[in-house]
């Protein structure tokens, strides 16, 4: 049984996403409120949006490749835009 390089990368990134979400969710409970809490929430939302962008490829057999690429681009842009806008708001306050 041979595992493709893409599968290995997806498993590795899934592991990283789980660690990020676990650690920052724990931090969110500990540092609720204030700027640190806002930054933790920014990171969690950004990680969730990037997660969706990475794993939309699972729907490849149901959706055309062009639509998958579009959805990936939208979720990546949304994640980075959310992080940038939220960062500016936190820095400005």
pTM across the whole model: 0.84
Listed as ranges, residues in the chain with pLDDT below 50 are none
Segments making up each domain of the chain, as ranges? 5-92
Using one digit for the tens of pLDDT, what is the confidence trace for 64-87? Answer: 999 999 999 999 999 999 999 998
For 2, other C-beta atoms within 10 Å of its C-beta total 4
């Amino acid at each position: 049984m041979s595992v493709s390089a893409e599968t290995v990368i997806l498993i590795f990134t899934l592991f990283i996403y789980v660690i990020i979400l676990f650690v920052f969710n724990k931090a969110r409970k500990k540092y609720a409120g204030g700027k640190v809490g806002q930054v933790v929430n920014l990171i969690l939302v950004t990680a969730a949006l990037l997660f969706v962008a990475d794993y939309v490829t699972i729907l490849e057999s149901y959706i055309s490749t062009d639509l998958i690429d579009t959805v990936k681009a939208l979720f990546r842009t949304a994640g980075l835009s959310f992080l940038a806008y939220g960062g500016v708001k936190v820095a400005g306050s």
